[in-house]
């Protein structure tokens, strides 16, 4: 991927991720299947996102003898879901890291301007001390992701990452311009946005497909 689109972009090309994403894209995939696949793909994404967590040695007793064993150092991470569809990604990540804190940013896209409007915010008190993974299934215009990250910066967060199932060059450029230091992890970069700001070829409205609301 051209660094001009985003300087810190990682596309997760693992065969399992790509296979599951293909099933999610299919029109005939049911709500239950879609939700389960989103959870599975998100767990696999979390594995990659947490690859470089700091490690320290701690004393433990095995059934045979004491030892110094590796454990994650410092405070654990925080997953921040951009409502509502982000909850479908957060759930899978929590399967892998159940001790993670969870925050929520409520944003909806104005149907005319396509700009984000904040209606809800709830974060852990110590969110600024944690690695924060911001999740939303789709990086379309990039405006909601950029606004959510800006809101987290105002809360003192400095160690931020963004994860999504699909992105497009338009959204990646917006996020790179607003927050060039924030790494982006996605499963695929699709062709473009259409006139209604939907990702093409995409997978439809991720929120509706996760929750069966259309």
Tell me the DSSP string of 81-133: EEETTHHHHHHHHHHH-TT-EEEEEEEEE-TTT--EEEEEEE--TTGGGS-EE
**3-class secondary-structure state, position 66:** strand
Tokens of 113: 């301007």
Q: Annotated binding site: which residue ranges?
A: 84, 109, 136-144, 199, 204-206
For residue 135, give the nearest of 166, 173, 172 by alpha carbon.
166
Q: Annotated binding site for 5-phospho-alpha-D-ribose 1-diphosphate: which residue ranges?
A: 84, 109, 136-144, 205
Tell me the DSSP string of 149-199: HHHHHHTT--SEEEEEEEE-HHHHHHHHHH-TTS-EEEEEE-SEE-TTS-E
- Contact criterion met (CB below 8 Å) for 103 and 90: no
End-to-end CA distance of the chain: 34
Q: Annotated binding site for uracil: which residue ranges?
A: 199, 204-206
What is the rounded distance in angstroms from the CA atom of residue 174 to the CA atom of residue 83?
20
The 10 Å Cβ neighbour count of residue 138 is 27
Q: Which active-site residues does the annotation give?
A: 109, 113, 205, 208
């Amino acid at each position: 991927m051209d660094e001009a689109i985003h300087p810190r972009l990682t596309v997760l090309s693992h065969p399992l991720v790509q296979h599951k994403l293909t099933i999610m894209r299919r029109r005939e995939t049911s709500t239950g299947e879609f939700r389960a696949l989103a959870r599975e793909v998100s767990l696999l994404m979390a594995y990659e996102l947490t690859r470089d967590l700091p490690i320290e040695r701690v004393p433990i007793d095995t059934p045979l003898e004491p030892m110094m064993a590796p454990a994650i150092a410092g405070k654990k991470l925080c997953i921040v879901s951009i409502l509502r569809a982000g909850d479908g990604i957060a759930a899978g990540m929590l399967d892998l890291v159940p001790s993670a804190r969870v925050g929520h940013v409520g944003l909806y896209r104005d149907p005319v301007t396509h700009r984000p409007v904040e209606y809800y915010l709830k974060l852990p008190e110590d969110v600024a001390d944690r690695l924060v993974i911001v999740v939303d299934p789709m990086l379309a215009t990039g405006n909601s992701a950029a606004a959510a990250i800006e809101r987290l910066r105002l809360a003192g967060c400095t160690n931020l990452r963004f994860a999504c199932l699909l992105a497009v060059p338009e959204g990646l450029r917006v996020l790179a311009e607003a927050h060039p230091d924030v790494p982006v992890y996605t499963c695929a970069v699709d062709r473009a946005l259409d006139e209604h700001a939907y990702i093409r070829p995409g997978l439809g409205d991720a929120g509706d497909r996760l929750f069966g609301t259309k």
